[in-house]
């Protein structure tokens, strides 16, 4: 379980996050949406403990994140950042194995090797296993990066997966594949938090949505309860129309084209 209580973060004199609170249960996927500069990446950095909030508390499974040892934390949460550049020559399999580094000292165990084979199979990258990572397309590279972060927590079903705009720059098929993999992780009991820019994908794949605006919560809850014209206008300063679509649990959001 993730509990975020009254978290604020200030950089210099700017309050980047202001009094953010939410809770997620195991198996839930949260999409964080909001305009550029709303504070989404900052929130993710606090959740990863890359930075510390000045006030409020963040707990993983009832324990403050600052109370975890670094190695313990590395085995409990994994993070797909936006810019995962790889300048050295690595095969895909070597890169996925990096996800297991928090689990072994010198040599991977048979469990580590089993995990990377399983994850490569699940993410559909087994055929690339021996390819040089840098020869893959952007979409293929993103699947490999996702495989690496899944491998990190694969044998820890109470763990947390954090994704910062995982679908950036991907075509529609790859976007769906990446989000479906994230959804599968939630369905297996992981708690998943993903920053997304596409509101319709957020509604389709996530159980809950957090809408941020200037570091503050506009709304938090199930897609059908938070995705409405008023909240979207408050968060993004655009007018939208909602369109019901058969088979979807939440109406589609369509920008009206009117700028205000
Ligand atoms: N260390 C810092 N000092 C000053 N301002 C900062 C600092 N870090 C972030 N900010 C500002 O805080 C705001 C929120 O940044 P953040 O990266 O969290 O936004 P975001 O919602 O992820 O944006 P985007 O969608 O563009 O990636 C931005 O205006 C950013 O310029």
pLDDT single digits (tens) 204-221: 999 999 999 999 999 999
The SS3 assignment for 83 reads: coil
Q: What is the mean pLDDT of residues 211-239?
A: 96
Q: Average pLDDT for residues 234-245, to the nearest whole number?
A: 93
Number of domains in the chain: 1
Region 47-64: mean pLDDT is 95
pLDDT-derived band at 168 (thresholds 50, 70, 90) equals confident
Question: What integer pLDDT is reported at residue 248 of this predicted model?
Answer: 84
CB 123 within 8 A of CB 181: yes
Q: How far is the CA of 235 from the centre of ligand 1 (A)?
A: 15
Taking the centre of ligand 1 as the mean of its atom positions, its distance from the CA of residue 216, in whole angstroms, is 13
Taking only the tens place, the pLDDT of each residue in 93-134 is 999 999 999 998 889 999 999 999 999 999 999 999 999 999
Q: State the residue range of the domain holding 163.
A: 2-256
| Mean pLDDT score across all residues of the chain | 93
Question: Could you give the CA distance from residue 216 to residue 188 in angstroms, rounded to a whole number?
Answer: 31
Q: What CATH code is carried by the domain that includes residue 97?
A: 3.40.50.300
CA pair distance 194, 180, nearest whole angstrom: 12
**What pLDDT is recorded for position 139?**
85
ipTM surpassing 0.90, yes or no?
yes
Residue with tokens 């087994």: 126
Q: 17 CA to middle of ligand 1, Å?
A: 10
> Residue 183 Cα, ligand 1 centroid: separation in angstroms?
27
Q: Which residues line ligand 1 (CB under 6 A)?
A: 11-12, 14, 16, 34, 36-42
Residue 202 to residue 100: CA distance in whole angstroms? 29
Name the residue with the closest Cα to ligand 1, atom 30.
Answer: 37
pLDDT at residue number 243: 92
**H helix or E strand, kind and range, residue 16:** strand 14-24
Hunting for tokens 């490569």 — which residue is that? Answer: 120
Give the angle subtended at the CA of 57 by the CAs of 55 and 61, to the nearest 5°. Answer: 170
């Amino acid at each position: 379980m993730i509990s975020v209580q009254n978290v604020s973060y200030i950089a210099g004199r700017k309050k980047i996050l202001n009094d953010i609170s939410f809770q997620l249960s195991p198996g839930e996927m949260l999409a964080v949406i909001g305009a550029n500069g709303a504070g989404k990446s900052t929130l993710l950095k606090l959740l990863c403990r890359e930075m510390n909030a000045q006030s409020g508390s963040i707990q993983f499974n009832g324990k403050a994140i600052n109370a975890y040892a670094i190695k313990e934390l590395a085995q409990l949460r994994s993070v797909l950042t936006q810019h995962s550049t790889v300048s050295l020559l690595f095969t895909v399999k070597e890169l996925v194995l990096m996800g297991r580094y928090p689990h072994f000292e010198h040599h991977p165990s048979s469990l580590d090797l089993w995990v990377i084979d399983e994850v490569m199979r699940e993410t559909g990258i087994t055929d690339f296993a021996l390819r040089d990572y840098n020869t893959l397309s952007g979409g293929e590279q993103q699947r490999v990066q996702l495989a690496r972060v899944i491998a990190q927590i694969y044998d820890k079903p109470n763990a947390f997966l954090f994704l910062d705009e995982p679908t950036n720059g991907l075509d529609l098929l790859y976007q769906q594949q990446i989000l479906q993999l994230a959804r599968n992780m939630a369905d297996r009991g992981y708690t998943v938090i993903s920053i997304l820019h596409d509101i319709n994908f957020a509604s389709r794949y996530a159980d809950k949505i957090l809408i941020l605006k200037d570091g503050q919560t506009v709304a938090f809850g199930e897609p059908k309860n938070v995705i409405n014209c008023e909240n979207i206008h408050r968060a993004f300063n655009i007018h939208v129309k909602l369109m019901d679509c058969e088979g979807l649990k939440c109406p589609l959001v369509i920008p009206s084209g009117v700028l205000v």
